[in-house]
Amino acid sequence: MGGSAKDLLVQRRRAIPDCGLFRVHATGYNTDGQIFSDVGIPVVLFMENYDINRKGYHDSHDTMANIDLDYGSAVVAIAIEAVARTATEKPLRF
């Protein structure tokens, strides 16, 4: 293993031909799920209050003291149920 960063990007591009190197318009761009999506693993992106300029978004106020764990647990429960239903229910026919 080894090589330059450019060589690794080229190898990655060859391995995943439908993946752009910088997909700035892709839903998962610059998220934690992008690396999974890039290798073909299905990803679901849930976002709440997405405002990268707000206080507490990846700054010194981004601490456990400012996280509402009960609210987060409720959102996660909804996300799990939504994904499970999507994966298992038959499509509606109109």
Determine contact, residues 55/61, Cβ cutoff 8 Å. yes
Per-residue pLDDT tens over the stretch 30-85: 778 888 888 888 888 877 777 777 787 778 888 999 888 999 899 899 989 988 98
How many Å apart are CA 75 and CA 48, to the nearest integer?
Answer: 9
Which runs of consecutive H residues, i.e. helices, occur in the chain?
5-15, 34-38, 69-88
- Give pTM, 2 decimals: 0.53
